[in-house]
Structure formats: C-alpha cells, structure tokens
A and B are shown apart, each in its own frame.
Chain A
C-alpha cells in the first residue's frame, strides 16, 4: 500500500505545522513517510502545498499522483485536482464551491469554531482524513503535545476528534508493525551531523533554503555548547568560520548559491591558509535570486571551480538524510586530515523533504582532528607549512605550544608562513598543496550503483535525485527487457572514476539525469574521463524530479 496526500493553502494558514503533525502521526503508526514541501517566497497569501506520501514499504521518492487532497482554500482544489486519482478524495470546507465530484465538503470551519479557535481548522481536517483512512488515534495526543503548549494541544486534539465525527471510513489502511524510525529532513540531518562531529562554531547569513541548518543548530547552542552566530554578511560568515577553525574549533558555514558567490574569495583563503572548513551549499535555482524556495542542481560546476587560482578542495553531493548525516561527519574529518575546504552540496529538495529513516548510528561517528604537538627546539622552529611527502603539514593550535607561533598568510608563503616571491618556493608550495589531493583521491567513495549489474542503459546522477533515480531504475527493470542501472555520485569532486569507467565500458547507452539545464555532471565526466553521455534527462523548472518524470523521459527516448 502507498498513499499520497496533498495539503494546500495560502502562506500564513498554518500548512507547515499541519503537515508536520500529520506526517508525525503517520510515522508513529509505523508508516514510512516521504514529504515534499512546495512553498512560495512570501510570508502571506500565494499558494503553498505539501505532499505527504506514506507506505508500509520503504519510500525513496515523492510521487505526483494523488490519493487525497486537504484543501484549506479553493485554489488548492483548482490547482491540484488534475493530479488526483479518479477515486481520490478532496477534504474541504463546506463553503468552498467546487463542482468536482470528489469533493467531500465538511463543516471544518464551523467545527473549529466549536473548539473556540478557528485556527484549529487544519486539525479538524486531519481528523476527518484519519477517519477516512481508518487510522486510529493512539499517537495523536502525544504528537500534538510535541508541537503545542498543553492548552493548544488539548484544543487541537478536540478539533481532531471533531473532524473524525464528520467523516466516514472509506479505506482500510494496513498499519505497519512497529515504529523504530526517525523523521528528518536533509538540513536537520546536516545540522545533527555537524553537532555529532563536534562542530563548535557555525556562522552564517540567513538564506533560503539553507537557513534551517542554522535554525536547528541555534536551538541547541547553549545545550550543546556550539557558537551559532548570524554574521553581518556571507563574507563575514565564512571569514569567521576560518578564524575559528584556525584557532582550533571545528567550524562550519552554510548558504545557498548566491551566498556562496559572496564567499568565494574566502573559499580560496581556506585552501591557501590550509585551514579546515566545512561549507554547506544548499542549492536553489539561479542565476541571481532565481526561484528562492525551489530546487535545482545547477551549482556543481560553480563550486568545483569557484575562487581564483588552483587549490585542493572536496565536494560531496548529499543524496538523502542518512547520507547527509554521515557525510557531514566525514566532511569534518576530511577537512581536518587534509587541511582544506570541504563543500557539502545539497539542494532545496533534500533540505526540506522529510523522510523516515533508521535512527543515526552514533557508534559510526569518529572524530579525528589530526592535531599535532610541538616541543620547542631552537634548532627546529615550528613550521606551519613544512614540506612533507603527503603535502600535509603538522597543524598545531595557536596558544598551546610555547615557543611556537602559527603564522598563516594569504600571500604565497614559505614553510614558516612568511611572504615569499621565490619562484622555487612558489613551485614547492603549489605542489605541496596539490599533493594532498592525490592522497585524498585514494579514499574517495565510489558512486552508489543500483539496478542490473550488467546494465545496457546506464544512468548517471548525483546528489538528491538518488531517491527518484533509484525508484525509476527499479520500476524500469520490473517492466522492461532492457536492463537499467544507475550510478549516483556522492563524492563528486575530485570525481571518483573507477566504477564509472567499469560500468560505462559495458553499457550501450549512457544517460545523465540532472536537475539543471546544461548537464553539468555529464560535462565533468567527459572532461575527466573522456566518457560522453548519449542523451540527457534534465529538469530546470524548480520543481523536484519524480521517478515518474524520469521514466517518462527515458521511455520517450527509446
């Protein structure tokens, strides 16, 4: 079983809270949940909607076909009725005059008034839907208590019960056995990963869709003892993070593409000073302000080449919330080990989508700062940029080693950190910095392969489209003689090539699947490996890519 319910209304109508409550209730019943959020860049009015898909089986993606709609206003019915199954339902207030026969008009507002607060109208609707689906109440009160104070929780529980009485049971939803999951979105998973990794300093400037990383960290600031500082601008944010990291604290900054553009010079600073830094870049459609609240994967080529000059960096594309958590932890370790910036590339789809996953395993979290010691020796002064076979110089914390000064400079510098214009030293330093990359390349993670091992058609994708692409491959393989497979990149720069070359050799066709207009992964793959894609599945309207969309495009090309 697998249901897909849309909740829609205007900004300010409480859709977000309503959906969060509804998905929690479903999750507590043991269902797998996958919820996407479509909202406009405004505080009031407009049209926002949230699609909650739930199932007794693991869900990898959202889906476009709807089983039900909770319409908080008339527009919701107008905009979404075309995606509703013929036997689907629309729960709306009796005042909404719509001729659609699937509408179940109920006195939602009146029932809400009866509780003493018309703002509980959403809870009335949830009650009606729970009844319609035949889902019991055993977790509802507890969930409401997590969202509201006790008085409002009681009011809303009354509203849910009122709503139940309005509807008639139509479905017999099979309740899953036991709920052992957490429900989390990509940004929260990044934030939790940062905390688990021992991040002590997060400075950022608010920018959708990255802000909820800062929101979650700020909610834990005093308890977890992490400084969360809203900087005056993005330039300050990244330079602060670099300063904190230089001084010995694990530090991170986060933004979206526009903010990243402002951080670019300091990205190079992290590379040049060899100060570890983790940066989350949560993409939205550009250029410039673009579509602020929507999704795209169009900053890949930008982040791998941003900033002047040549220096090592790593880019990890996050594929799902579990990946987001574990890769954030790994990013801190890699940044410290190789003393370079690590960029976590996410997007609005991953950032705002809540998914049920197994609780993160903290046993898998290892923290290694790679901090060296130094004992003063007049004959052997501490050298921050000592030339070594790996290119990695011993890093110490300023203030901790008497007789040792940690000198860093954005100018080209010698081993001690002093400015140099020597051609010989310049060569040594460029080579030292780039040498680190050779060692990093040895521990890159190959892309995840899914599908038929000896596939004829190989899809190439990266980051958050992991779910839709995986689901698409599963469906394609179950109703076609052609064998499909997909490589979905997480580590993406430097590009891991072993599995790519191996799979590409055997495939008859290679198709890149990307949420951008120019096929940036395909471009990078051809540049690095000489492998060219035969065709592309691209989407750049700012709306997330579903498995249905991918299947349709691939079949259309056959």
Chain B
C-alpha cells in the first residue's frame, strides 16, 4: 500500500518530541496536495528533525549538517515536477547552514522549508542554537547563552522571502493548514515551527509555547511586508503563529524559459549538433 499512500515508519524520536506531530502533519499536508509519495522529495541535513526523510516513504535526501538547502534547490531546478520539501532543524537551517538560508531566499526556488525550531541542539545533547534565548543555561553556555537570538522570520522578510510563516507543533490542525499553504506557494516558503525538545530544552516547553502562541487574527493583511516585520518581532508573552507574509514573486524556474517549459530539465536531450557547432568559437 505504501506505493500510493503516505506511510510513516517507526522513528527514533523521544516520546513527546515535537517532531512526532510535525511528521504527522507533513503526511496530512502531502496527502492534501494530491502528489504521490514518489513525486515528493523530502530533504534534511543532520540533526533530529533532519531525520524526517528516514521515516516517511517519499524520496529522501539526508545530506550534510547545514547543507539541506543546496541539494534541495538544485533537485527542484533540474526537475520542476518534483515537490521538494526541506525538514530540518534550527541549528541546521540558521547556524551551520546560515549562508544557504540567506542566499536561497534570494534565489527563490520553489521549495518549502520547514524548520523544526526547538531553540536547542538536540542530537548533540543540549547546546545553544541560533534561536536559544539569552540567559538559557546549557552544558556549554554555563553562565547562560550570551548571544542575542536570531529572528529568522525578520531575516527572511528583510531578504524578500515571498512566504513567511510561523507555526506550533502542538496545534496540528493549524500546522497542517499552514504546511499545505506553504507547499502550494510558488517560490521559497519558510515555516518556522516552534516545537518542544522534551529532553534538552527545559525552558521552552510545550506549556511555555502553549501559553504564548496565538493565531494571527482573520482580516490580517499578509501582503504588507512592514506589518509582517512588526509581527515577526513579537516575541515573549505573546508569539503570533500563522502566515505573516505572502506575496507572489517570480521563481528561479520562471526566470528561465528553458527551465519553465513543458519538460523538466532532466528530460531534455543534449543538443549535440548545437554543441559541436561551438567549435567555431575557437577557429
């Protein structure tokens, strides 16, 4: 049955881990897109969240730490028919892979980037991540994290990302609906998904998030970039979840006729005679 239906296999995540909800929501969202598992590519780097491709029966690419975006965008560029989804963590996306995060927003390839943001490094057992709050004590940051946490949504908005959202792993229905919107969106879509790490983050717990998150109200104008920036800076007692910003932009593929035609690039044959003609450049 797993040839046509999405299936999730047994995971190595802790009971109560936010990843367990996220993968269920991913499955539900992919089902709603109507794509079959073999038409989907899930990409991860290294980390706990990055193991997502291991547990779902789509195509999967588990690459290097911090390097989830480069292979994901390239796969999409050469095969526009693939639905490409990145599932990886805050360390992978914003720390080790920070440069790729910045520049792939600029590149605007039609992929979806789900960041499982638990504000901590899980796989390496509890060090500060780029989104860890100031004062958060860890085994390395023994006097509390000194660095200002990164605001990924504000960064994404500053760089001109066309789809910027935040979700919470504890609200499955809401998370699934945002995932569907993000996957449908034509272009780079960022969803920063707040999730508890039950083993290594004793501060930003399920209760901590539950108390603070609120859904962005109906009637909010998601096309206003400045408003979105304002909303992205809301953090503390109240944390907005929902689509902060959404606007149409030309995708990487749409910028090139040869990529945007009927066939994906991988199905085009090499024009040997044309290439042979390039010898005249050297006469």
Contacts and interface: CB of A to CB of B under 8 A. Distances in A.
A408 B64 CA distance: 11
Contacts of B60: 405-409, 417
A399 B82 contact: yes
Contacts of B258: 222, 225
A419 B54 contact: yes
B72 interface: yes
B4 A403 contact: yes
Interface string B181-209: 00000000000000000000000000000
Greatest chain B CB density within 10 A among A201, A243, A266 is at: A243
Contacts of B76: 247
A184 B61 CA distance: 39
A209 B260 CA distance: 33
A409 B62 contact: yes
A198 B3 CA distance: 32
A356 B54 CA distance: 53
Interface residues of B, number: 56
B253 to A, nearest CB: 10
Contacts of B57: 405
Contacts of A389: none
A455 B244 CA distance: 77
A103 interface: no
Given A182-B279, A201-B74, A269 B54 contact: no
A247 B272 contact: no
Given A182-B282, A405-B60, A407-B53, A247 B74 contact: yes
A182 B283 contact: yes
A270 to B, nearest CB: 10
Given A182-B282, A398-B41, A405-B60, A249 B67 contact: no
11 contacts: A195-B275, A232-B103, A235-B67, A239-B74, A243-B70, A243-B71, A247-B266, A273-B61, A397-B79, A402-B36, A419-B62
A317 B73 CA distance: 31
Contact of A419 (B36, B43, B51, B67): B51
A218 to B, nearest CB: 13
Given A402-B36, A403-B38, A407-B54, A198 B270 contact: yes
Q: Is the interface of B mostly helix, strand, loop or mixed?
A: helix
Contact of A201 (B67, B77, B269, B276): B77
Contacts of B77: 201, 227, 229, 244
A70 to B, nearest CB: 23
A441 interface: no
A251 B63 CA distance: 17
Contacts of A200: 78, 265-266, 268, 270
Given A232-B100, A410-B64, A227 B36 contact: no
A367 B78 contact: no
A233 B266 CA distance: 25
A67 B77 CA distance: 53
Given A203-B74, A410-B64, A399 B272 contact: no
A79 interface: no
Nearest to B37: A405
Interface in B30-79: 36-39, 41, 43, 46, 51, 53-54, 57-64, 67, 69-79
A389 to B, nearest CB: 27
B151 interface: no
A183 interface: yes
Contacts of B269: 198
B259 interface: yes
Interface in A203-231: 203, 220, 222-225, 227, 229, 231
A247 B51 contact: no
B58, B72, B257, B276: residue with the most chain A Cβ atoms closer than 10 Å: B276
A378 interface: yes
A449 interface: no
Contact of A397 (B36, B46, B266): B266
Given A405-B58, A405-B59, A265 B64 contact: yes
Q: Max chain A CB contacts within 10 Å: which of B46, B53, B70, B256?
A: B70
Given A182-B283, A243-B61, A399-B81, A220 B278 contact: yes
B259 A243 contact: no
B219 interface: no
Nearest to B96: A235
Contacts of B268: 200, 225
Given A182-B283, A249-B266, A410 B62 contact: yes
B78 A247 contact: yes
Contact of B38 (A201, A244, A399): A399
Contacts of B36: 402
B156 to A, nearest CB: 16
B154 interface: no
The listed residue with most B CB atoms (<10 A of its CB), out of A222, A247, A269, A359, is A247
Given A235-B67, A243-B74, A398-B59, A248 B283 contact: no
A242 interface: yes
Given A244-B78, A247-B82, A410-B63, 13 more contacts: A188-B282, A198-B270, A200-B270, A222-B257, A243-B73, A247-B266, A273-B61, A359-B279, A398-B41, A399-B82, A405-B57, A406-B59, A409-B60
Interface in A333-383: 359-360, 362, 365, 367, 376, 378
B99 interface: yes
A236 interface: yes
Contacts of A196: 270, 272, 275-276
A192 interface: yes
A233 to B, nearest CB: 6
A362 B63 contact: no
A203 B71 CA distance: 11
A92 B240 CA distance: 73
A232 B99 contact: yes
Contact of A243 (B75, B102, B270): B75
Nearest to B78: A249
Given A233-B99, A362-B276, A239 B54 contact: no
A353 B81 CA distance: 42
A170 interface: no
Contact of B62 (A239, A243, A266, A411): A411
Nearest to A265: B64
Contact of A231 (B39, B61, B70, B278): B70
Contacts of A400: 38
Contacts of A365: 272
Contact of A224 (B4, B53, B59, B274): B274
Nearest to B43: A243
Contacts of A249: 78-79, 265-266
A253 B79 CA distance: 19
B70 A236 contact: yes
Contacts of A407: 53-54, 59-60
Contacts of B275: 192, 195-196, 220, 224, 362
A227 B61 CA distance: 21
A367 B75 contact: no
A58 to B, nearest CB: 17
